[in-house]
Amino acid sequence: MHRDKVLHKRIGKLLLERGIISEEQLNEALELQKKQQQEQGRWRLIGEILVERGYATEEEIITSVTTQYAVPFLPIESYGIDEELIKSVPADIVQKHVFLPIDKMGSLITITIAEIPDAETISDIEQALGCNVEIFVSSPTELRRAIEKYYGEK
C-alpha cells in the first residue's frame, strides 16, 4: 500500500461525513470500544461495533473504505490462505492490529483488513513482519471470523 493511501480520516469520521451514521452513534460506538478494551482487553473495530448496533451495514463500510481509498475488496472465504504464512506471522500482532496475512512474495506481504490503518499502524506491521505491506479490505465479520479460525479468539 502506498503511504498516500493511508487513512487520513478514521472510518467513523468517513461514515459520519457520508451521512451513514450520526455523531451520537459514532460517540456511542467509540465509548463502547473504549469500555470493551478496558474490561475485556479485546480491541474491537469501530466498524464491527457500528454493524452490531445496526447503525451501518458491512456493505456501507466496505463501500466507503474502498471508494475513499481505492483499496480493493477481497472476500476471505474465496481466497486460499497459506497455512505456512499464518504460522510465520505472530498472533499478537495480528490480534493487536486486526488484520489477516493472506499472501507473501519476497519482501511484500499482502494483508486484509476491515478499516484502513493509520501510518503508524502500517509501520508497526511492516517492522514486525520485516516486509512491505499491500492492503485489501474485507468485511469486519469475515475478517474477525478468519482471525479466530487461524489464530484463536482474543
d(CA 105, CA 95): 22
pLDDT at 103: 92
Q: What is the pLDDT of residues 74-133, one digit of tens each?
A: 989 888 888 899 999 999 999 888 899 999 999 999 999 988 788 888 898 999 999 999
pLDDT in tens, 65-89: 888 888 899 989 888 888 899 999 9
CB 20 within 8 A of CB 56: yes
pTM as predicted: 0.73
% of the chain at pLDDT higher than 90: 44
CB-based contact 29:50 (threshold 8 Å): yes
Fold for the domain defined by 76-151:
GMP Synthetase; Chain A, domain 3 (3.30.300)
Delimiting residues of CATH 3.30.300.160 domain(s) in the chain = 76-151
